[in-house]
Copies of this chain bind each other. A is one copy, B any other.
């Protein structure tokens, strides 16, 4: 039975009416706090009751903003993507194209882990591990967004090749894999072993892999960017 004028509006969809400035501000405050908690406790450890208590509101009051725990988790992942864009992707675009921008992207990325934008370390490392053996829309969104970040790395590597700053025989997929691994590695070493030296090791590894694959033009461009 289909109805052309449904009595019950779909409160779980993104089109749910939410036009007041106050409602938007409250929702944003909830999500900022939720991303912090999820970076430490995971998206399942983030419970509606404990989040509500920390924000000084009732459980059902908070719940009404999202409609389900899954919708809350999706909103938290979206919010984390905004924070990542602001702290890593966008700042890297200020560097000149080529190896400089590639290095800038990875340098900001390590910095975002290092400076602990989130109390629990890298939000993405946490939720990737948490959802790696699950299925559903939350996992799908995590996979989609982190795939974009990997593609952004690889695009910068391939752009540097096209500009003649990395050698033609440089293996873009291999470099991308190694860069991602270094970021993961320093996040875990820091969070689990308190090893702050790992950030320097990640940066050094990234720099050496770029230098090893760079042409003379690329080496000069990278040195000029790092010095400047």
What are 7 A-B pairs at a CB distance below 8 A? A42-B130, A125-B129, A143-B192, A174-B201, A174-B205, A177-B186, A184-B184
Which of chain B's residues have a CB closer than 8 A to the CB of A44?
A: 45
Which of chain B's residues have a CB closer than 8 A to the CB of A188?
A: 128-129, 132, 184
Residue A147 interfacial (CB < 8 Å): yes
Q: Which of B121, B147, B181, B191 contacts A193 (CB 8 A)?
A: B147
Q: How many identical chains are in the complex?
A: 2
Instruction: Report which A residues bind B (CB closer than 8 A).
Output: 39-42, 44-45, 119-121, 125-126, 128-133, 142-143, 146-147, 150, 173-174, 177-178, 180-182, 184-186, 188-189, 191-193, 197-198, 201-202, 204-205, 212
Q: Are B120 and A132 in contact (CB under 8 A)?
A: yes
* Complex Cα gap A182–B183 (Å): 10
Which of chain B's residues have a CB closer than 8 A to the CB of A202?
A: 177, 181
Which of chain B's residues have a CB closer than 8 A to the CB of A121?
A: 132-133
Which of chain B's residues have a CB closer than 8 A to the CB of A150?
A: 193
Known: A41-B133, A126-B129, A204-B174. A180 touches B185 (CB 8 A): yes
* Complex Cα gap A41–B184 (Å): 20
